[in-house]
Structure 1
Amino acid sequence: MPKNLVNITLGAVIEEVEMILESYPKYPYQQAFSHSGGRQDLIAYVLSRVPNKYMAIDSGESANQTVQFRCSSEQLMQIENLIHTGIGDLMHRYPKVDYRLLEQVKSAARVGG
Structure 2
Amino acid sequence: MANSLINIALPVVNEIIDDVLAGGTSASYRDTLTSDDSRNRLAKFVLSRLPARYMTVNDSECSLELTKNCYSAEQHQHIRKLVHQGIQKLVARPIAPPSETLIPSTWFG
TM-score of the two chains, using structure 2 as the length reference: 0.74
Aligned-pair identity in percent equals 31
Equivalent positions of 1:24-39 (< 5 A) are 24-26=25-27, 28-39=28-39
Displacement after TM superposition at 1:60 (Å):
4.1
Structure 2 matches for 1:1-113, cutoff 5 A? Answer: 1-22=1-22, 23-26=24-27, 28-65=28-65, 67-70=66-69, 71-95=71-95
Residue segments in structure 2 that go unaligned for 5+ positions in a row: 98-109
Preserved CA contact (<8 Å) 1:6 1:63: no
In 1: Cα distance, 2:95 partner to 2:5 partner:
36
Cα separation, 2, equivalents of 1:35 and 1:61: 32
CA RMSD of aligned residues (A): 1.9
Higher helix proportion (structure 1 or 2): 1
Residue 61 of structure 1 and its aligned partner are, at CA, apart by 4.0
